[in-house]
Structure 1
């Protein structure tokens, strides 16, 4: 029985905190009304995984997702070596980067909806096996055409894995505490862009460019072994809250969670699968009003962000004379800033979620997920996101002008830390809201966001250096900031009218 049905059938109810029995590991929380009737059976827990098991599962999925950003960024320090060995120009090698980003947005259209239907484990394993094979080919090839073709397949495999990994968080974490777990769910996508250039620079300088692809091959192989041995299936269309065993072929060798038949833990809600997936599913998601506006702003935020990051190597080389290894080390403030946002912005997101719950007459119920159609989740998320975006605008302007005047390198790096802290935090909360609105198909919604983000990001990377050469880094950063401020009207529209639109769509207005 849903929370709304309980409310309709039992008008004299009170809202209270259900903490569960003493000693039970019920660390995840959401907001829900419960009755005071002692005989009423409590709803089943959202997941049967313990706290440590949840962290392990999310962290492993995030580390697998590390392959997507690291595959793109680890490649940059080897561009000069590749152009010499393959006897082509740097601009021709840059074409492989453009094709990589384009196909990075195409592949998730298929794998996102497939994983929502068949499960996370089989989709991740197929993608990882194909990704590993492609990297072996890349390490052995010595032809420019082969490089383009194989990099295209590499992009498809890595981006597909990333989308599936992000959906795992929605499978095991309730809406009320997703901000708290941003540190684990975003670990791979946060550290990939920061560590990629460093790893690539070291490998290319001491072992040659082929070692980069051998490194990725070994990493993918290790992830395959971990998934086969102990990574659980989490797709709720397949296993519910973990009380329903997946098919035998979709079980790890060492299961973290053994199915139970206890009435207190069984998920009584039928796990009806969505319709069979098609590549159009992710496109149709983006055509919804609220989702479309959310994806549009997230893509624009990413465009400005990636334009700054992609221009950093050329700026550091031109203004400070840095080599590829030194440039890679300068990405460390970006990685640290992105990482720390999970402890600050993530916790503010959860705090605001609970604050709105109390205003609505709801209290915290640990490890319980209910229908929040009548809860203003858009306002709870965006009241934190919007100030964070505006702070990011100020920081990116500061970064642009201190870089423009060629002051001590400490200036741009400090500003880069704050840019990463605010924009990464804002992006994570926007993706969290996107999943909140599509909790039954999180991978499909994430794939839609990835597609538009990568398509626009490819254009931003291509335009960044020419624009900076034309008007300077300071005015480029100012232009990006103005674009974000103007387009933030999309978020204001979601904040003011998104909840009402979602209720009408659900037929509750």
Structure 2
């Protein structure tokens, strides 16, 4: 048997045996739903850890006696590590498995939150926010990898929608929780809350979550090493003879070069850059709300947190609806081209226009989302009633999140065997660009004013639409060239 640490060899072996009978995944629908539920819960920690901090920014700055500019640097550093850490953990998860990657990340995350709750100076805050980001930010990439492990392309949009929907209440609930805790118990209590919440997640995860990485368990039919079993299964297997691929799984030091190699593929690089522009605009709006709403409307931490609810609600609705639309559009094109929906190891997306199936949904969402950013900026510039810009936040979450979802799904369509690394490449590009945008938002607001600042951001976002047309037109050819090159290497 080919080494299970090499997915391509595993695929070739399966094809030689009987490719027409080897289903993509042996997990049942109920098992898939449970797996996606826990993956979705895990993905919640990255955005909630970022946004729970927003309402307390003014309180933290006052408490440790630093300027808002320095406090914004902790947002920038968080995003930098949000981009860098998945490069290592994504490759580790593709090789060693999802379960060990999740557990390492959560142990780091819990330790960082305890440290943040106990620190009392800016240097410690800065460093520990980086560590916190390193622990939590990979969860979304891992969740994308889990979807690629268990879902065929025809249903991948819906499952990705569920995973993303689980993470998107973070921008809505994080500020509310952070505002409540900061207002009544002090800003440190937010980090104690995250510590407890992460511990609550680990209990069902350690007990029941199965290994899904295709390099370890194939389509789910190969037992993982005993050390990588859910705890319940491990207890059941204590008196059984050893089985699984204990001697075949080789855990090596994570290689970030794989993620970088994905970034520099022509088609992937273009869609990652376009997605990063959208994300930077999205994050600029999020990061600017506390200071603008405090100055313009005199809101306290809790009230600012409540204003994020429409943002997260729109984003959550978008993730679910867009996922259904992606599956519908895939089926529509597949029926037109007489392409079978059911995938096996013998059938892949080599001759299917997956770029068109995914990105057709993105265009109207991108245009509408850019318009909401313009409206948001001018509502603030004219100082209209709080309800107007806050209503725009709902539509902004609804449209821009839908555009993000299409790109995230397309990435794992490109790299189903290395999905965590592909998702990590998305994190890397968009978080680094978002970090730079966050560092520039205060100077831009000061120099341009609220209306023109957000108009400029929106126009930059709209300029990404020609890039998506290039991908639809030339992407299939570039993907075929990459596939031929990989086959020859």
Q: Shared fold (TM-score greater than 0.5)?
A: yes
- 2:384 alignment partner in structure 1: 407
Moved more, 115-124 or 79-88: 79-88
Does residue 182 of structure 1 match 2:167? Answer: no
Does residue 199 of structure 1 match 2:177? Answer: yes
Mapped to 1, the partners of 2:249 and 2:209 lie a distance apart of 23
Q: In structure 2, which of residues 117, 142, 145 is the aligned counterpart of residue 164 of structure 1?
A: 142
* CA displacement at 1:437 relative to structure 2: 0.7
* CA displacement at 1:173 relative to structure 2: 1.2
C-alpha change, 1:411 and 1:151, in structure 2 (3 Å) is same
Secondary structure of the residue aligned to 2:341 is strand
Higher helix fraction: Structure 1 or Structure 2? 2
- 1:150 alignment partner in structure 2: 128
- 2:417 alignment partner in structure 1: 440
* CA displacement at 1:218 relative to structure 2: 0.8
- 2:213 alignment partner in structure 1: 235
- 1:483 alignment partner in structure 2: 460
C-alpha change, 1:309 and 1:94, in structure 2 (3 Å) is closer
* CA displacement at 1:195 relative to structure 2: 1.2
Mapped to 2, the partners of 1:322 and 1:441 lie a distance apart of 45
- 1:392 alignment partner in structure 2: 369
- 1:226 alignment partner in structure 2: 204
State the number of aligned residues. Answer: 458
Check conservation: 1:116, 1:237, Cα contact below 8 A: yes
Secondary structure of the residue aligned to 2:342 is strand
Secondary structure of the residue aligned to 1:411 is helix
Moved more, 116-125 or 154-163: 154-163
Mapped to 1, the partners of 2:321 and 2:373 lie a distance apart of 19
Moved more, 59-68 or 490-499: 59-68
Equivalent runs, 1:57-96 vs 2, <5 Å: 57-96=35-74
Does residue 457 of structure 1 match 2:440? Answer: no
- 2:114 alignment partner in structure 1: 136
* CA displacement at 1:108 relative to structure 2: 0.8
Q: In structure 2, which of residues 332, 335, 341 is the aligned counterpart of residue 364 of structure 1?
A: 341
- 1:348 alignment partner in structure 2: 325
* CA displacement at 1:187 relative to structure 2: 2.6
Structure 1 residue runs without a partner (length 5+): 1-39, 260-270
* CA displacement at 1:222 relative to structure 2: 1.5
Q: In structure 2, which of residues 1, 13, 24 is the aligned counterpart of residue 46 of structure 1?
A: 24
C-alpha change, 1:217 and 1:399, in structure 2 (3 Å) is same
Secondary structure of the residue aligned to 1:441 is helix
Mapped to 2, the partners of 1:370 and 1:399 lie a distance apart of 46
* CA displacement at 1:481 relative to structure 2: 2.2
Moved more, 385-394 or 230-239: 385-394
Deviations 1:197-253 (A, max 9, x none): 111111111111221111111111112222210111110111112111110000002
Mapped to 2, the partners of 1:391 and 1:93 lie a distance apart of 32
Mapped to 1, the partners of 2:224 and 2:27 lie a distance apart of 15
- 2:5 alignment partner in structure 1: none
Does residue 377 of structure 1 match 2:351? Answer: no
C-alpha change, 1:339 and 1:132, in structure 2 (3 Å) is same
Mapped to 2, the partners of 1:214 and 1:440 lie a distance apart of 37
